[in-house]
């Protein structure tokens, strides 16, 4: 029977003092990430009013004229922070850019932190939109904390100490991407879609419910499962980096954002990409080989090398 939805988990089970509920959450999370690589999270504790406010300030920013938005684009080096204009990013393996523009922000490290130089500095539109930084950075911090809890559960399912993944992600290049998919113009490339099918690169992704539907996840049989955009749910999926280190036990699953029937509507979404530090070794760990075919299936590579490779593949970093 064809699957029509992704699993739904409640974070309050993990936060419960009841060990049975906690173990149930860990087990369901692990099974979801081994099976389809996606689940929907309720009980996450992020106030819906903060999510609504984040979308409101995002809409205000993307409504600014191109000249103003260009002030906040990093024109030198990798495009990991600030505004990334429409038509820049193309999914790995595709030449036609996605129909989107977006904003990216990450963590701020003190200049005495040993990883300070490895993390790009944030850019903020304080001059034109002073409410943007406190709203978006505030959401980043809440989602980053949520990511820590989920990484704990990811490690516990594997029989590891709960901070196994958390320690790798401490001071890592975790990014909140605020995406605007504008109305699709009549002159748009007929091959272009809002987000071509792809897999995420990071450890895990936390996606706040979008302002419109469109997200689809590929099932084992190649069929697409439509994922409803609800603000009271956060969609979680695994990326290539956690797939690499677990030798494919946790799967990075193909997904996309399809064009709407009403081409005149905007769509906004906000994924948090949880990244390890650039120096973390992602080589497949031998303890997972027995469950994944008996030998390493993925490369020996650091997180920094992997990210730079993918940024070049999708047009956000020059050779």
Q: Of 154-168, 188-202, 224-238, which one has max mean pLDDT? A: 154-168
User: Tell me, what's the pLDDT at 216?
Assistant: 93
Structural domain contains residue 319: no
Which residue is associated with the tokens 């087990």?
27
User: Tell me, what's the pLDDT at 1?
Assistant: 52
In tens, the pLDDT along 258-283 reads 988 777 789 999 999 999 999 999 99
User: Tell me, what's the pLDDT at 314?
Assistant: 82
Which residue is associated with the tokens 């419910």?
209
Structural domain contains residue 288: yes
Structural domain contains residue 115: no
Tally of domains in the chain: 1
Report the C-alpha gap between 46 and 69 in whole angstroms: 29
127 touches 160 (CB < 8 A) = no
> What confidence category does residue 2 fall into, taking pLDDT thresholds of 50, 70 and 90?
low
Structural domain contains residue 76: yes
User: Tell me, what's the pLDDT at 319?
Assistant: 63
Structural domain contains residue 3: no
Structural domain contains residue 178: yes
Structural domain contains residue 39: yes
Name the residue among 157, 145, 160, 142 with its Cα closest to residue 47.
142
The 3-class SS string of 158-172 reads CCCCCCHHHHHHCCC
Residue 279 belongs to what domain range? Answer: 8-108+129-313
Structural domain contains residue 167: yes
User: Tell me, what's the pLDDT at 78?
Assistant: 73
Residue 158: which CATH number? 2.60.120.330
């Amino acid at each position: 029977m064809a699957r029509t939805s992704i699993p739904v988990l409640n974070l309050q089970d993990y936060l419960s003092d009841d060990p049975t509920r906690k173990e149930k959450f860990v087990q369901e999370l692990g099974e979801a990430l081994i099976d389809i690589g996606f689940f929907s999270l309720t009980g996450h504790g992020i106030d819906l009013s903060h999510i609504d406010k984040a979308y409101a300030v995002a809409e205000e920013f993307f409504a600014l004229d191109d000249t103003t938005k260009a002030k906040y684009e990093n024109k030198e080096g990798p495009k990991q922070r600030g505004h990334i204009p429409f038509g820049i990013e193309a999914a790995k393996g595709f030449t036609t850019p996605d129909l989107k523009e977006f904003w990216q922000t990450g963590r701020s490290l003190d200049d005495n932190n040993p990883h300070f130089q490895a993390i790009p500095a944030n850019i903020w539109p304080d001059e034109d939109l002073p409410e943007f930084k406190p709203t978006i950075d505030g959401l980043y911090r809440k989602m980053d904390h949520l990511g820590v809890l989920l990484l704990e559960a990811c490690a516990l399912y594997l029989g590891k100490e709960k901070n196994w993944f958390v320690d790798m992600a401490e001071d890592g290049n975790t990014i909140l991407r605020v995406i605007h998919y504008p109305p699709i113009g009549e002159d748009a490339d007929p091959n272009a879609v809002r987000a071509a099918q792809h897999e995420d690169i990071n450890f895990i992704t936390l996606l706040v419910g979008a302002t419109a539907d469109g997200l689809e996840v590929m099932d084992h049989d190649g069929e697409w499962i439509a994922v409803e955009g609800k603000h009271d749910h956060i969609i979680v999926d695994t990326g290539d980096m956690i797939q690499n280190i677990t030798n494919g036990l946790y799967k990075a699953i193909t997904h996309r954002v399809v064009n709407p029937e009403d081409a005149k509507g905007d769509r906004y979404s906000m994924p948090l990409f949880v990244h390890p530090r650039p120096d973390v070794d992602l080589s497949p760990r031998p303890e997972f080989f027995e469950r994944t075919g008996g030998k390493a299936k993925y490369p020996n590579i650091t997180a920094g090398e992997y990210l730079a490779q993918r940024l070049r593949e999708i047009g956000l970093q020059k050779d």
